[in-house]
Amino acid sequence: MSFSTRVRLLTPLTANRQQIRAAFDTLEAHDATSLRDAAFAGLALRESDPGRTLLLIFSDGDDTSSWLTTPKVIETAKRTDAVVYAVVVPFQRAFWTPQGGATIATVKKAGKFLESLTEETGGRILFASSNSDLRATFTKTLAEFHDRYVLSYTPTGVSATGWHRLEVKVKGKSGKVTARRGYFGE
């Protein structure tokens, strides 16, 4: 899927690498950005895929033309089991330091929407220092997603419907847990 002033589905969900590569070859960065609209569309496509879903967003984090609001997209993300990772890419060189890192302004600019979306779904934001760094960042993201554990439980003493906040911790050990913030019972 690509997004600029509009969101376009370049290829349906497929395992056909040749079809996916052909879609990638049509991409270019230009014009306005409908980041929130694209995230929503990606989450909506989740319904047609029975497996665990990784929604991977490559963007500079700027949104200049979406119709949807951040709360609407976050609410939709809460209702799916998709995990969202964002790779922030330096499409606009002015936001990057000579050492190749993102400036604080870039992190804040890209961070608000993407940070909320990734944290809500149990994903995270990664930064690619240049377009040539995309392959390594993409590979790292897939490896991290593949190495995730899936935990399940049956809640007791809570309403069957509505939003239920979750907090996952490692007992007796140190470590960082990345997990969804909660789930909707319906």
The reported pTM is 0.76
For the chain, report the end-to-end CA distance as a whole number of angstroms.
Answer: 29
Q: Can you give the pLDDT at residue 48?
A: 59
Average pLDDT, the chain: 79
Domain that holds residue 132: 2-148
Q: Can you give the pLDDT at residue 98?
A: 47
- Count of CB atoms situated within 10 Å of the CB of 124: 16
Strands 125-127 and 83-88: parallel
Q: Can you give the pLDDT at residue 95?
A: 45
Please, where are the H alpha helices in the chain? 17-24, 35-45, 70-78, 104-121, 134-146
Averaged pLDDT for residues 56-79: 89
Whether 122 is in a domain gets the answer yes
Specify the CATH number for the domain of residue 63. Answer: 3.40.50.410
Whether 184 is in a domain gets the answer no
How many residues in total does the chain contain?
A: 186
**SS3 breakdown of the chain: % helix, strand, coil, rounded to 5?**
35, 15, 50
Tokens, residue 17: 């690498």
Which pLDDT tens digit goes with each residue over 16-51? 889 888 888 887 766 778 899 999 999 988 765 566
Task: Tell the burial category of 84 from Cβ atoms under 10 Å away from its Cβ (0-12, 13-18, 19+).
Answer: buried
Alpha-carbon torsion angle 107, 109, 113, 118, nearest 10: -10
Whether 183 is in a domain gets the answer no
Q: Can you give the pLDDT at residue 52?
A: 73
Q: Give the closest residue to 80 by CA, choosing from 6, 172, 2, 183.
A: 183
* Number of domains, the chain: 1
Whether 100 is in a domain gets the answer yes
Whether 180 is in a domain gets the answer no
